[in-house]
């Protein structure tokens, strides 16, 4: 994060909001062993190990919540989670992970704004076509 903030300052944007998001492909199950085994079965069926441009996490919702909490403490603004296999992992994210994050006070229980820009606390950009 220090490198990102230094680049932000050198670009003359030190006082502006810049969000940094982590990205994960997630395989979630009731136990870490079950999640790892399920991913391995998917790899075997595909004939190759799953690879991604994002970090891959196979484990429990609580374990993923721990990781996200650590990353948040390290300065990340948020996360993009990609379910490894539908519908199972999406159901695990919505039914297990989100409630765990809410219990820890790390995930909203309602929306404070109507737009993504509003949720991120970003103002409206200047209209480059407006008269100066």
- Rounded to whole angstroms, the Cα distance separating 123 from 17 reads 9
Each residue's pLDDT tens digit, 1-32: 788 888 888 998 888 888 889 999 999 999 99
DSSP 29: -
Give residue for tokens 């990353």: 71
- Rounded to whole angstroms, the Cα distance separating 27 from 2 reads 30
Mean pLDDT of the chain: 93
> Six-digit token pair at 23?
């990205």
- Rounded to whole angstroms, the Cα distance separating 56 from 120 reads 25
- Rounded to whole angstroms, the Cα distance separating 2 from 4 reads 5
Each residue's pLDDT tens digit, 64-99: 999 999 999 988 989 999 999 999 999 999 999 999
- Rounded to whole angstroms, the Cα distance separating 116 from 132 reads 27
Give the rounded percent of residues in the chain with a pLDDT score beyond 90. Answer: 69
Q: Average of pLDDT values for 56-62?
A: 98
User: pTM, whole model, 2 decimals?
Assistant: 0.84
């Amino acid at each position: 994060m220090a490198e990102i903030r230094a680049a932000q300052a050198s670009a003359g944007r030190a006082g502006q909001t810049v969000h940094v998001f982590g990205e994960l492909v997630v395989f979630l199950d009731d136990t870490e062993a079950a999640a790892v085994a399920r991913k391995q079965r998917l790899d075997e069926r595909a004939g190759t190990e799953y690879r991604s441009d994002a970090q891959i996490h196979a484990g429990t919702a609580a374990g993923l919540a721990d990781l996200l909490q650590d990353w948040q403490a390290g300065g990340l603004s948020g996360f993009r989670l990609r379910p490894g296999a539908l519908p199972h992992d999406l159901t695990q994210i919505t039914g297990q992970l989100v409630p765990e994050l809410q219990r820890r006070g790390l995930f909203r229980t309602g929306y404070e704004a109507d737009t993504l820009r509003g949720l991120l606390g970003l103002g409206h950009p200047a209209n480059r076509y407006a008269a100066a």
